[in-house]
């Protein structure tokens, strides 16, 4: 007698439900995915719908289309009302109960109001398409009323926006409202003090790189997911992708360790979901003097280094590349600096730090691949120097690739010359 095929039911077609469904691709089960909206929503871009930048269709996709290649899967538009655990059935608002052998509940989450549901009419959350379109309606109406108002106090009240939560969605929402003010010809100054979000005085040394990923792990997770889903799609098509995931602005081993764990977890889950294996490396961009000094510790986590010489020059010399053009020509003209350090690597300062990092890194990991990325990668003198100190590769702007390759060839030939 043939063994009965297990029935697997998944409730919810969000990221969790979709990942679970993909994990059963080609598995010997009958899979039913239940979702009350029947489409997958890319929530990180809801703020764009809420501010009129995108339409709902741009950030949603039919679940049936996403899973159409899975022959063991069916997708049903249904709203679950309860679960009969004893009878192993999922009860629906309409239609017959769905039997199951195994049940996965991935129904997602909703915003809450700290025990004050009466706040909801005045402060909509941002979790669904309906939320986003309601916020868009309110924001656009507020701009319209402000434009017509003659009383400055009324105008100010209409243009006062409070965003609760300074995570990625909150920050992006604030920026989008500011852009909307430009489009609608509303002075940004009116809004600047009215949007409560994180602000920075020096973004170059502020909340970016791995620091942002540590504060908001979902950003790192989302980026890793995009990388490995693309790689797995290529692998399924018979190609051989080899992603190298680089964590930026690392200054200590614990920073890289935390971010690496997220990437590895997402990589493993994505490969399981697609049923393929993908080769990959996880490394870091060396952009800070401290990273150079503790490169031996960082190399315990990193499988490759890439010197971000633009920022390493800024942090080593204490110069802002955007502002130094006002006085650097005088420094070069007067012989204080031999040349612009943002054009050609400062060998005595930045170069010395690179040598320290190379020595320490390869002491820990002998096979450590080390390269350079940034504008210096297209400077012939810098390319020759990178070859001399033992770098494996250079990366530069596309229009400088030919110059970089020629300089690299000349560096090798120069060593062979008698």
Sign of CA dihedral 179, 183, 189, 194: negative
- Cα angle 341, 346, 349; round to 5: 125
Q: Give residue 2's pLDDT.
A: 63
Reported residue count of the chain is: 418
Distance CA 251, CA 312 (A): 12
pLDDT tens sequence across 183-205: 666 555 555 544 444 455 556 67
Q: Which of 186, 160, 184, 185 is nearest to 174 (CA)?
A: 160
Question: What does the pLDDT average to over 23-51?
Answer: 86
- Average pLDDT of the chain to the nearest whole number: 86
Residue 133 confidence class, pLDDT cut points 50, 70, 90: confident
**Going from the N-terminus, what domains does the chain have, and what CATH number goes with each?**
7-105 (3.50.50.60), 117-199 (no CATH), 206-416 (3.20.20.60)
Measured N-to-C along each axis, helices 129-148 and 168-183 cross at an angle, to the nearest 10 degrees, of: 40
Q: Give residue 194's pLDDT.
A: 46
Alpha helices (runs of H) in 151-204, residue ranges in sequence order: 152-158, 168-183, 188-192
pLDDT tens sequence across 321-379: 777 777 888 888 888 988 889 889 999 999 999 999 999 999 999 999 999 987 788 88
Higher pLDDT, 108 or 354: 354
Distance CA 53, CA 162 (A): 20
Q: Are 376 and 309 in contact (CB under 8 A)?
A: yes
Q: What is the pTM of this model?
A: 0.55
Q: Are 317 and 349 in contact (CB under 8 A)?
A: yes
Q: What single-letter DSSP state applies at residue 102?
A: E
Q: Give residue 335's pLDDT.
A: 86
């Amino acid at each position: 007698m043939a063994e009965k095929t297990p029935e697997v039911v998944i409730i919810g077609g969000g990221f969790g439900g979709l990942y679970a469904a993909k994990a059963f691709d080609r598995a010997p089960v009958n899979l039913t995915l239940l979702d009350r909206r029947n489409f997958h929503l890319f929530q990180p871009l809801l703020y764009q719908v809420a501010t009129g930048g995108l339409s709902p269709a741009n950030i949603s996709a039919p679940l049936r289309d996403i899973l159409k290649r899975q022959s063991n899967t069916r997708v049903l538009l249904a709203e679950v009302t309860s679960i009969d655990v004893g009878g192993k059935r999922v009860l629906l608002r309409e239609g017959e109960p769905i039997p199951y052998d195994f049940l996965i509940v991935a129904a997602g989450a909703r915003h809450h109001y700290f025990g004050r549901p009466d706040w909801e009419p005045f402060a909509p959350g941002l979790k669904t398409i309906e939320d986003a379109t309601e916020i868009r309606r309110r924001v656009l109406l507020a701009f319209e009323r402000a434009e017509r108002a003659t009383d400055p106090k009324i105008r100010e009240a209409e243009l006062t926006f409070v965003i609760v939560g300074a995570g990625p969605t909150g920050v992006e929402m604030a920026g989008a409202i500011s852009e909307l003010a430009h489009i609608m010809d509303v002075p940004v100054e009116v809004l600047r003090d009215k949007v409560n979000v994180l602000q920075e005085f020096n973004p170059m040394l502020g909340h970016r790189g791995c620091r942002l990923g540590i504060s908001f792990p979902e950003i790192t997770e989302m980026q890793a997911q995009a990388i490995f889903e693309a790689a797995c799609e290529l692998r399924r098509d018979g190609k051989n992708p080899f992603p190298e995931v680089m964590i930026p602005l690392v200054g200590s081993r614990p920073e890289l360790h935390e971010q690496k764990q997220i990437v590895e977890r997402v990589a493993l889950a994505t490969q399981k979901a697609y049923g393929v294996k993908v080769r990959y490396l996880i490394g870091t961009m060396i952009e800070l003097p401290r990273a150079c000094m503790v490169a031996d510790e960082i190399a315990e986590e990193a499988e490759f280094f890439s010197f971000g010489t633009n920022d390493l020059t800024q942090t080593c010399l204490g110069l802002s590349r955007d502002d130094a053009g006002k006085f650097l020509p005088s420094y070069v003209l007067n012989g204080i600096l031999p040349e612009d350090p943002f054009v050609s690597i400062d060998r005595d300062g930045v170069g010395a730090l690179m040598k320290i990092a190379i020595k320490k890194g390869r002491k820990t990991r002998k096979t450590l691949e080390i390269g350079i990325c940034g504008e210096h990668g297209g400077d012939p003198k810098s390319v020759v120097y990178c070859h001399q100190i033992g770098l494996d590769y250079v990366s530069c702007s596309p229009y400088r690739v030919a110059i970089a390759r020629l300089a690299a060839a000349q560096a090798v030939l120069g060593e062979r010359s008698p």
